Amino acid sequence: MDETSLIEIVNNPTFQTNFIELQLLHLSYSWSRLPSSEGGVEPDAVGLMKKSDDGGVESLDYEVIENYAYWDEQAQRGKFYVGYHVIVKWFFALLIGIGTGLAAVFINIAVENFAGWKFALTFAIIQKSYVAGFVVYILINLILVFSSVYIVTQFAPAAAGSGIPEIKGYLNGVDIHGVLLFRTLFGKIFGSIGSVGGGLALGKEGPLVHTGACIASLLGQVSTYCPFSSL
């Protein structure tokens, strides 16, 4: 093959396109094989960064990789998909807000009712005996607090704590197992009712952040059954 023929082949647009595609594939494969910044952590086939010590925490890379292939795919979907995607995002944001608000209202009503029954019973007993009223007041608080302790320790361990650090960690890529399950949502709501109703110096602001995240996760799982989810 002479020099002129070789130049014609190299200048062929088909050859240049195939060559660029091969280079991009080679670069993507080489990048996927690079070690991570932390020792003993390697990516698996689904993008999870697992520790070599088989710990209970995984690093989850859920960011959308915006490249030419992604932009080309989005351009092929059409304007209907873009409008549908925007509407669905705002609709789910509305549902998450409504669900979190209903959970907050339920917690407030439950705490107010428990506190009302507790004070009414204590006040009625105090009319006869201060000691008996004090004992009943302590027992009611202990029952409420121990009910929340039982829920957190035996039923939903991931519901322990405020919930804000766990959600911040999850948004930064740390996938804590069970942090967004339905049982965690249940434990967070009723654990907050027992703790606040039992007189502990706790608030519901942090638990409501975790509650909203659980509701968002559950709605996201339900959305996979949407007839247009594959668009």
Q: Quick one: pLDDT at residue 146?
A: 92
What residues contact 183, with CB distance under 8 A and at least 6 apart? 155, 156, 159
| CA atoms of 57 and 51, how far apart (whole Å) | 8
Q: Quick one: pLDDT at residue 17?
A: 53
Q: What is the pTM of this model?
A: 0.62
Beta strands 48-51 and 174-176, pairing class = unpaired
Q: Quick one: pLDDT at residue 99?
A: 92
Q: Quick one: pLDDT at residue 46?
A: 40
Residue-averaged pLDDT of the chain: 75
Q: Quick one: pLDDT at residue 38?
A: 47
- List the beta bridge partners of residue 60: 48
Q: Quick one: pLDDT at residue 142?
A: 92
| Regions of the chain with pLDDT less than 70 | 1-65, 223-231
Q: Quick one: pLDDT at residue 62?
A: 61
Provide, for the chain, the percentages of residues in helix, strand and coil under a 3-state DSSP scheme, each rounded to the nearest 5.
Answer: 70, 5, 25
| The 57-60 sheet, strands edge to edge | 41-43, 48-51, 57-60, 174-176
Q: Quick one: pLDDT at residue 103?
A: 92
The domain locations on the chain are 1-34, 79-225
